[in-house]
Amino acid sequence: MEFRIPTAEQAHWGLRAMKTVALADGALDESERHMLEAVQRAFGTNFQVDGLDTIAPEELSVGLPDQQIRNQLVNGLIVMSLIDQEVNPVESELVERFASALQVTVPEVGNLRHVVKREMFHLRLDLVRRFWLREKVAEIWNQEGLRGLAKFVGGLAGTYENAELAARYQALAEYPAGSLGRSYWDYCRSNGFALPGERNGAPEAILFHDCAHILSGYGTDPHGEVQVACFSAGFQRRDPFLFVFFVLLQFHLGIRMTPITKARTGFFDPELALIAIRRGAAMTVDLNHGWDYWPVMREPVEVLRQRYNIVPMEAFCHQSDVAGTQRAKR
């Protein structure tokens, strides 16, 4: 994802738009105020939230000509409309007006309309159509045909076993401590996850997600899943905001988007999400597309982090915020 830090003037325009969306259904609540403050900590501005004036979409379009900043802002407005865990048609319509005025076309604006109308079938259908799982299935079909697809589905369902494949991953236990391979073995065993080829083991095609957890340092609890999704959005080159929108629904609004994971509420922290996005955006490789983990399985995770420019989380935190951010991460 291309991610640009706005100037103070651009941030001021954007904050006014975000506050306008937040106020569309009444007074500013605590979660909305927290988001406006979190965005400012991330961007290094200190405008008084109560002093921010609302703004009309047409006025914003004149004052904010930079298209990349416009794109980022519309994504931010979508998050703002959902951060209070309420789905409001007035806010959704206002987000659409801002997107139209800013000439930003993103599918999540339409998805937001599905959420408001409780059109869950259409929502899930569109997200599945665009999600990485569809691409992985297509790759498997092209490489292995029906047999490969059956193995993939069996892996997701927990019915597929392959002793030879399992042995290859079990051998990672003998890799050097701190290597990506040994770290993956430790990650699976410590979290109670089966290895590929073992019963209930994840298909190899989605192992890149586990590698993103390991390389980023984010855990597998709801907070960690939200942050690793935002981290993935950062390094993803195609349709990146889909990751953020997905975890907003799954782990913040409690709308179950996958049969594998239980839906939860209240786990989207905008400050931690922005830090994760910035960390991913700074990377030099897209782990989801064209990256092969096997050639680097023996290499130390720390070396790979340096090679891929995975910057420590603390580098994006103000010093006074590091301790609190670390607590939230745990």
Q: What is d(CA 83, CA 78) in angstroms, rounded to the nearest whole number?
A: 9
Find out whether 31 and 267 touch, Cβ atoms under 8 Å: no
Find out whether 17 and 73 touch, Cβ atoms under 8 Å: yes
Kindly tell me if the per-residue pLDDT of 320 is higher than 50. Answer: no
Tally helices (H) and strands (E) across the chain: 16, 0
- Mean pLDDT is lowest, of 163-167, 228-232, 313-317, for 313-317
Question: Per residue in 176-194, pLDDT tens?
Answer: 999 999 999 999 999 999 9
Options 3.30.1330, 1.10.4030, 1.25.40, 1.10.3680; CATH for 8-118 is 1.10.3680
DSSP reduced 3-state for 90: helix
Kindly tell me if the per-residue pLDDT of 140 is higher than 80. Answer: no
Q: Quote the pLDDT of residue 323.
A: 35
Convert 252-272 to b/e letters by CB count within 10 Å (16 or more is b): bbebebeeeeeebeebbbbbb
Calculate what percentage of the chain has a pLDDT beyond 70: 88
Residue 212: half-sphere exposure toward Cβ, Cα within 13 Å: 29
DSSP annotation string for 133-187? HHHHHHHHHHHHHHHHHHHHHHHHHT----HHHHHHHHGGGGSPTTBHHHHHHHH
Find out whether 55 and 242 touch, Cβ atoms under 8 Å: no
Q: Quote the pLDDT of residue 316.
A: 84
Q: Quote the pLDDT of residue 239.
A: 83
Give the C-alpha distances (Å, rounded to integers) separating 81 from 20, 84, 87: 10, 7, 7
Find out whether 181 and 175 touch, Cβ atoms under 8 Å: yes
Q: What is d(CA 218, CA 238) in angstroms, rounded to the nearest whole number?
A: 22
Q: What is d(CA 222, CA 234) in angstroms, rounded to the nearest whole number?
A: 19
Sequence-distant contacts of 45-49: CB under 8 A, at least 24 apart: 45/8, 45/11, 45/12, 45/15, 47/11, 47/12, 47/15, 49/19
Q: What is d(CA 35, CA 68) in angstroms, rounded to the nearest whole number?
A: 21
Q: Quote the pLDDT of residue 330.
A: 35
Every domain of the chain and the residues it spans? 8-118, 132-329
Closest CA to 4 of 42, 57, 61, 35: 42
Closest CA to 102 of 81, 132, 72: 72
For residue 36, name the pLDDT band (cuts at 50, 70, 90): very high
Q: What is d(CA 230, CA 221) in angstroms, rounded to the nearest whole number?
A: 14
The mean pLDDT value of the chain amounts to 89
In this prediction the pTM is 0.87
For residue 59, name the pLDDT band (cuts at 50, 70, 90): very high
| Backbone torsions φ then ψ of 265, nearest 5 degrees | -125, 145
Residue 251: half-sphere exposure toward Cβ, Cα within 13 Å: 22
Average pLDDT on 48-76 reads 97
Calculate what percentage of the chain has a pLDDT beyond 90: 73
Find out whether 273 and 35 touch, Cβ atoms under 8 Å: no
